[in-house]
Chain A
Amino acid sequence: MAILGDYARLIRSKNAGPFMLTFDVMFADDETYQKILKSKCLTKKIFSEIYNVSENTVTFFEHDAAKAIKISIPRPYVQCHEDDGDVYGGQQHALLVEIEVPE
């Protein structure tokens, strides 16, 4: 089965200030963007299950002009807290890359 990483032009995560973490799933064209939205392979609920975080802490955006899905959560650890291993939050998107996309 194809994975989200095969469809996106860029999947990334990043700190949004020291206390928030944000994920961008960006597509090259409208067709792919709409296909992924319709497939419901990445929703607020699915994100909260994959990352094992409470659904009510997840904010989920569809940004049509950017052809992108955006998701934000409070950082699991405050930036540079002793348990934080990712200052820029740049490697937290890994789980999104392998989401299976139904044909």
Chain B
Amino acid sequence: MSEVRILAATGMLGSGFLEKSFYKGVSLNPHVIACDSGSTDAGPAHLGGEIPYFSREAIKRDFRLMLLGRDTSKAKLIIGSCGMGGGDWAVDWMKEIAFEIAKEENLKFKLALIKSEQDKGYLKSCLNNGKITSLYPHFEINEEDIEASSHIVGVMGCEPIMDALENNADVILTGRATDTSIYASVPIMLGCGLGASWHAAKILECGTASTVNRKRPDSIFGWVRDDHFDIEPLDLEARCTAQSVASHTLYENADPFLIIEPDGVLNTLNSKYTEINDRKVRVYGSIYEKSEIYTIKLEGAKFGGYQTVIIAGVREPFIIRQLDDWLEKMQIKFIDRVIEMSNNTLDKNDYSIKIRVYGRDGVMGKLEPKKDFINHELCLLITITANTEDNSKKIAKSFAHFALHFPIPEWQGLISGLAFPFSPSELYKGPVYNFNINHIVKPNSPLEMFRTKYLEVN
């Protein structure tokens, strides 16, 4: 019976783990050490704007310990979804950090870089050949949408990672990959059960998220066999229970029983969770159903303009009772001010203003049932989005001043209707992006959409 041991360093590279926990995992002789480094959770800026989620320092700290742990154990080291969004730039960014650490620590290894950004011409031809279909909730895309994306990644499954393992890579850095594939590749290659491998991967990928009352991000260990897997956190103060492990398939999945991968679906409907001791859980009965059609999910982000933010409080009861009316009138009047301020070079089509009202429906928007409840104090979050950085900043500066003194009928004389907490009152936020693709591709082969490069680090 095959047993593959997996050390998950932490839920996300850069979020940290205890050295003691990690080294305990290394001492258990893992076949693979892995960590996920990204997702879409934090929004489209990371994919679209090439912005890592954590600092280089935080990433390098975790990565260094993982490379040292790999050197000791000679396990395979796999890091998925580099730089949060998984863009090609992020794989190169991580490669530089890998070389830097290798030099500092005198490490040698064969490095594989697997990139996942998609060629727009390739995607357009897939679209025209009917190989791209939408996922729920459905919307259509056309060639212009593909062209308008600043970055599009394909979310890889196990196959490109297994290919790199077969080519004897020691350390694998991937672009966007499913959180599970980086953990499932080694146990599947070494003959463990598919259901056990994929389910173990799903539990491991969030680090200690499957423990009871997670104390901190930390390392966790999995033993994958034929028809079951065991899981145990490495910090002795942390523990898994049947319920905490079972609960983890709920987390940020729309369906708690089915997890869709490029080549199949993990079904945990009949999984059985049993406690081996007070910290370790065994899971039986998970099934992996192979799909007839191999699919790769796409993620795309489109540039949405440059944004400046104004934060302002409102406490005056006469303003609050007519807030929407006041805000609407000032925005209409402001149209002429933009034309005047810019000497007719800008008009209302060159910018947009959005005002979110905290203390009313700022958090829930149209889901908020209590939006007619009037609070005594409100916070306005005003965003000004324009086609250039300069336009966004100058329109915001004028709007802050214009809005501050915009009158209400009840008062005669100049008012100051907004409480700005900052000087200057506007904060330039930078470029913004929107997710614009929720589709899958049917490639001709599992490797077709991904590009692997090998480097000897010594």
Residues of A within 8 A of B (CB): 14-20, 22, 24, 26, 50-53, 59, 61, 63, 65-68, 70, 72, 74, 76-88, 91-92, 94-95
B40–A17 CB distance below 8 A = yes
Nearest CB in chain B to that of A51: its residue: B367
Contact of B252 among A22, A52, A78 (CB under 8 A): A22
Residues of B within 8 A of A (CB): 40-45, 135-137, 242-243, 246-247, 249-257, 271-273, 299, 304, 352, 354, 356, 362-367, 369, 383, 385, 432-435, 438
A53 neighbours in B (Cβ, 8 Å): 367
B433 neighbours in A (Cβ, 8 Å): 80
A83–B354 CB distance below 8 A = yes
B44 neighbours in A (Cβ, 8 Å): 18, 79-80
Contact of B246 among A65, A91, A92 (CB under 8 A): A65
A65 neighbours in B (Cβ, 8 Å): 242-243, 246, 271-273
Contacts A80-B44, A87-B42; is A72 near B383 (CB within 8 Å)?
no
* A50, A85, A91: most-surrounded residue (chain B CB, <10 A): A85
B435–A77 CB distance below 8 A = no
B367–A66 CB distance below 8 A = no
Contact of A19 among B137, B246, B252, B255 (CB under 8 A): B137
B40 neighbours in A (Cβ, 8 Å): 15, 17-18, 79
Q: How many Å lie between the Cα of A60 and that of B3 in the bound state? A: 36
A68–B137 CB distance below 8 A = no
B242 neighbours in A (Cβ, 8 Å): 65
B246–A79 CB distance below 8 A = no
A94 neighbours in B (Cβ, 8 Å): 363-364
Q: How many Å lie between the Cα of A83 and that of B254 in the bound state? A: 22
A66 neighbours in B (Cβ, 8 Å): 243, 246-247, 249-250, 256
A16 neighbours in B (Cβ, 8 Å): 252-254
A78–B434 CB distance below 8 A = yes
B137–A85 CB distance below 8 A = no
A80 neighbours in B (Cβ, 8 Å): 43-45, 432-435
Nearest Cβ in chain B — how far from A86, in angstroms? 6
Contacts A17-B40, A18-B435; is A24 near B250 (CB within 8 Å)?
yes
A87 neighbours in B (Cβ, 8 Å): 41-43
B364 neighbours in A (Cβ, 8 Å): 85-86, 91-92, 94
B252 neighbours in A (Cβ, 8 Å): 14-16, 22
Nearest Cβ in chain B — how far from A53, in angstroms? 8
A76 neighbours in B (Cβ, 8 Å): 365-367
Contact of A95 among B255, B362, B369 (CB under 8 A): B369
Nearest CB in chain B to that of A20: its residue: B254
Nearest Cβ in chain B — how far from A76, in angstroms? 5
Nearest Cβ in chain B — how far from A88, in angstroms? 6
Q: How many Å lie between the Cα of A17 and that of B435 in the bound state? A: 10
Nearest Cβ in chain A — how far from B439, in angstroms? 11
Q: How many Å lie between the Cα of A92 and that of B363 in the bound state? A: 8
Nearest Cβ in chain A — how far from B54, in angstroms? 16
Q: How many Å lie between the Cα of A76 and that of B365 in the bound state? A: 9
Nearest CB in chain A to that of B354: its residue: A82
Nearest Cβ in chain A — how far from B79, in angstroms? 21
Contacts A18-B44, A18-B438, A74-B136; is A85 near B365 (CB within 8 Å)?
yes
Q: How many Å lie between the Cα of A87 and that of B140 in the bound state? A: 23
Q: A65-B272, A76-B367, A82-B304 are in contact. List 20 more A-B contacts (CB 8 A).
A: A14-B251, A15-B252, A16-B252, A18-B44, A18-B438, A22-B254, A59-B254, A65-B243, A66-B246, A67-B243, A76-B365, A79-B40, A81-B434, A82-B352, A82-B383, A83-B365, A85-B365, A86-B364, A92-B367, A94-B364
Nearest CB in chain B to that of A21: its residue: B254
* A19, A79, A80, A86: most-surrounded residue (chain B CB, <10 A): A80
B362–A72 CB distance below 8 A = no
Ordered by A's residue number, 20 sampled pairs between the chains whose C-beta atoms are within 8 Å are A17-B40, A18-B435, A19-B136, A24-B251, A26-B247, A52-B366, A53-B367, A59-B254, A61-B256, A65-B272, A66-B243, A68-B250, A70-B250, A80-B44, A80-B432, A82-B385, A83-B354, A86-B363, A87-B43, A95-B369
Nearest Cβ in chain B — how far from A64, in angstroms? 9
Nearest Cβ in chain A — how far from B251, in angstroms? 7
A88 neighbours in B (Cβ, 8 Å): 41-42
